[in-house]
Chain A
Amino acid sequence: RKEVEQDPGPFNVPEGATVAFNCTYSNSASQSFFWYRQDCRKEPKLLMSVYSSGNEDGRFTAQLNRASQYISLLIRDSKLSDSATYLCVVNGGGSNAGKSTFGDGTTLTVKP
């Protein structure tokens, strides 16, 4: 089993749609969680951190469920510019603090 697993995708949605991505992680000691976006094999860019209380940034909402070891990203009112690969990232705890494990990514294509 992979340490971080994401929805395989791809997701093809029309503009304006709401889309949700899920991610599960296997290490219960993991301390911090992120969503990154990667465009066309360029460098990943940090989209948002994920907190236990959930957090929102404009059209993007991230949730963390520690009991189920599950992270989600919700994108509302999708734009063409949201087309990208979304990467779920989990940082280890304890002796693995600072080491990040990336999911393989979920590809989103937003169509006019």
Chain B
Amino acid sequence: NAGVMQNPRHLVRRRGQEARLRCSPMKGHSHVYWYRQLPEEGLKFMVYLQKENIIDESGMPKERFSAEFPKEGPSILRIQQVVRGDSAAYFCASSTSGTVTYEQYFGPGTRLTVT
């Protein structure tokens, strides 16, 4: 049973470019979460999605960041016009709705470097 998949594992972008990060949840999981971890800091919640729905985006920066989880295919976190401060590890996690406890399982992360 494959775990949470993220790609790419490493992404280098120049300032002003767009970054697209992909996440495929574990089989049977319908909830996806995105987190950001800046260097030397803790994990910060960004957004929580179910298929075709954004449930909670209270942690998303108001501009340049968007996320989707379409009916088919992976969840995408999109960062437009990247700046140096966007350099971080972006982790995706998934959980099933079949339990009230919502244990989350994480992917290996995408390390974004903005030059």
Interface residues of A (CB under 8 A from B): 31-32, 34, 41-46, 49, 87, 89, 91, 96-105
Evaluate contact between B45 and A100: CB separation under 8 angstroms: yes
- How far, in Å, is A24 (CB) from chain B's closest CB? 15
Evaluate contact between B56 and A42: CB separation under 8 angstroms: no
Residue-by-residue, is B80-115 near A (CB-CB < 8 Å gives 1, otherwise 0)?
000000000101000101001111111111000000
| Residue of A31, A42, A105 touching B109 (CB-CB under 8 A) | A42
Evaluate contact between B102 and A97: CB separation under 8 angstroms: yes
6 A–B pairs (Cβ distance < 8 Å), ordered by A:
A31-B100, A43-B106, A46-B104, A98-B95, A99-B56, A102-B45
Evaluate contact between B89 and A46: CB separation under 8 angstroms: no
Q: 6 tightest CB-CB pairs across the interface, nearest first?
A: A104-B42, A43-B106, A32-B101, A102-B43, A98-B102, A44-B106
Q: Which residue of B lies closest to A96 (CB)?
A: B56
SS class, residues of chain B in contact with chain A: strand
Q: Once bound together, how far apart are the Cα atoms of A96 and B42, in whole Å? A: 21
Q: Once bound together, how far apart are the Cα atoms of A104 and B31, in whole Å? A: 23
| Residue of B56, B102, B105, B108 touching A32 (CB-CB under 8 A) | B102
In the complex, whether B69 has a CB less than 8 A from a CB of chain A is no
Evaluate contact between B42 and A103: CB separation under 8 angstroms: yes
